[in-house]
A and B are shown apart, each in its own frame.
Chain A
Amino acid sequence: MLQNVQFRWRPTLPPCLDIGEFRVSAGERVFLHGPSGSGKSSMLSLIGGVTLPERGEVRVLGTDLARLTGPARDRFRAEHLGFVFQLFNLIPYLSALENILLPCRFSPRRRAAAEAAGGSVPAEARRLAEHLDLAPALLERPAAELSVGQQQRVAAARSLIGRPQLVIADEPTSALDADRELAFLELLLSECAATGAAVLLVSHDVRLADRFDRAVALADINRAMTDADA
């Protein structure tokens, strides 16, 4: 939930975000529509706790991120959030499986949750990968050798392992072919539903919106943009 948030990258720049209120409920699937340059990245950085707002409050799962220290925000992000980006999601020198396991290396909570869900952490990773249509043989290959579609699915598995409460996907499908796009979205959404994670998907492609509980246009909630346009 964001409330009365203002944010600018540098004090000399005009604010790029000025949001009255934006909420995502637990388990809710929200589509955030925004063309590039509309402040998406800034907003995701705020929710991830990588940056802090100049003014206002960012609460994630009831925690006011501004009240946490830098390392605590990093830990919070590791424990509770999963991210999928548009492209190049994976650490190229690790295998696909090791990429999926990474959040469990950063977060004991997610490791424990993955163990509880799958018996062991690698078993849970393989189970998620299978649900996302990744052949077991692919998992041993270096991430750099996978196709873009495969990489996106590995990234999805990584964002879901250890049951984070919120999965944030930033244009996760825009690098995919049109027919793969919908298939990937289905897989992602159904796995999020299975783990009970809320989804915040950001895209410029409005055609995806009808798969979600709610669609919000960033331009409507970001007063900074309206001002700039005016």
Chain B
Amino acid sequence: MTPIPHLTWRSVLNRRLTAGLTIVSVALSVALLLGVERLRTDAREGFASTISGTDLVIGARSGPVQLLLYSVFRIGNATNNISWKSVEAVAAHPQVAWVVPLSLGDSHRGFRVLGTDRGYYEHYRYGRGRRLEFQEGKPVAELFDAVVGAEVARALGYSVGSPLVVAHGTGDVSLAEHADKPFKVVGVLARTGTPVDRTVHVSLEAIEAIHLDWQGGAPIPGLVISPADVRKFTLTPKAVTAALVGLKSRAAVFQVQRFVNDYRGEPLMAILPGATLQELWGLIGVAEQALLAVSSLVVAVGLAGLAAVIVASLGERRRELAILRSLGAGPRHVFLLLASESLLLALLGCVLGVALLYGATLGLSPWLESRFGLVVSLGPPSIHEWVLLSAVVGAGLLASVFPAWRAYRLSLADGMTVRV
């Protein structure tokens, strides 16, 4: 019976240009807010799921975050290696199910080279316990075989059969190369969204082999051992960079951690990857919070703009409000008319914003994934996103109360008579 919804609709239609622009500005801010929120959760999830199924990471004694960074994220370098004897000692612990040694330090055209054993392909897990899968080819079998991550294959155009040469050290500009012992790609891993994508995997023995005739970071002058001859040497490594450890029972994790930390042969450290990931995220989290705060401010600006547009229109609408008063509209009708107009714009802005977000996600997700390894989910809004959306609508309601209250005051003062 109340004519307000009809009038609201017609009045908004009448001012479609300003109304449309206002809706677009609210929509953009909402899309930004939700987009940032979604990127944030997805980045955190991707981050937290970089490694799973590994109970402990062991390495030389340093900081837990540093150990995690170089062993799992391939960022930075180890301060020290751990001896093969220590690895064997840990593997011999009755609670330890498996140990995957990791040997880092070389690179291939900017991508890290990881020496490891076959257990890596079996035990490394990411996400919710997902295994590494081969896009093509198979794991390393021969001494100079290499398996490349998806990003390495994409960036360098590698496929099974491509030759590659490992460089000594980890710089981008190539340093001394182990050119005499070329590798052959035998497998390409499927994309994981983790640092595995950016890694070249070879066997531990190969790492040992290419360094046989090297010392102190340079080839030993006069000593050349050909690829055919290296097989005559014992290629068991003397030291590795770190090791992933799986336990028979998770309950023993602190027991084994203590065993490693108290190991007498050399100073070792064992970390729980999950806990250290949390710690690391805590460091990055500040930036993430700042991002959310900025996008919330953008929403506030959008809604303030909405309120400003409606308030600005009041000047020319005083006459209209007076006419409505003469027709029997009360001040509360005037309030409702203005409030519902702003609320309608805010709601339409939210709806359009969500639509924009989904459109943009659909359009940009291949690029985001290939460029940054960010897998952006396209699911329905999460509970947290609903909370954010309702907060925006709530703020929209608040923003609409202001012009409505102004109109209410104006119409009380004007009554039916505005002299034009």
Contact = CB atoms under 8 A, between A and B. Distances in A.
A208 to B, nearest CB: 21
B320 A75 contact: no
Contacts of A71: 330, 332
Nearest to A170: B417
B420 interface: yes
Interface string A59-93: 00000000000110011011100010101111111
A85 B326 contact: yes
A53 interface: no
Contacts of A74: 325, 328-330, 333
Interface in A91-120: 91-94, 98, 102-103, 105-108
Nearest to A89: B323
Contacts of A107: 328
Contacts of A83: 326-327, 416
A195 interface: no
A78 B7 CA distance: 16
Given A71-B332, A93-B14, A44 B327 contact: no
A51 B415 contact: yes
A102 B3 contact: yes
B79 interface: no
B327 A103 contact: yes
Contact of B323 (A41, A48, A91, A105): A91
Nearest to B420: A88
Contact of A93 (B1, B13, B331, B415): B13
A85 B3 CA distance: 22
A105 B415 CA distance: 20
A107 B6 CA distance: 15
B406 interface: no
Contacts of A89: 323
Nearest to B321: A91
A195 B325 CA distance: 23
B258 interface: no
Given A45-B415, A83-B416, A88 B13 contact: no
Interface bracket on B: 20 to 34
Given A105-B3, A106-B3, A48 B326 contact: yes
A50 B325 contact: yes
Nearest to B411: A50
Interface in B302-348: 319-320, 323-333
A68 to B, nearest CB: 12
Contact of B417 (A44, A93, A158): A44
Given A78-B328, A85-B326, A50 B415 contact: yes
A78 B6 CA distance: 17
A79 B6 CA distance: 20
Contacts of A87: 420
A103 B417 contact: no
Contacts of B130: none
Contacts of A105: 3, 6
B10 interface: yes
A108 B3 CA distance: 11
Contacts of B417: 41, 44-45
Chain B CB within 10 A, most for which of A41, A51, A102, A108: A102
A169 to B, nearest CB: 12
A70 B408 CA distance: 13
A94 B10 contact: yes
B62 interface: no
Interface of A: 41, 44-45, 48, 50-51, 70-71, 74-75, 77-79, 83, 85, 87-94, 98, 102-103, 105-108, 158
List the 10 closest A-B pairs by CB distance, nearest first. Answer: A78-B328, A93-B14, A105-B3, A74-B330, A50-B415, A106-B328, A83-B326, A41-B417, A77-B328, A45-B415
Given A45-B415, A48-B416, A91-B324, 6 more contacts: A45-B417, A48-B326, A71-B330, A74-B328, A74-B330, A102-B3
18 contacts: A45-B415, A48-B326, A48-B415, A48-B416, A71-B332, A74-B330, A74-B333, A77-B328, A78-B329, A92-B14, A93-B13, A93-B14, A93-B15, A94-B10, A102-B3, A107-B328, A108-B1, A158-B327
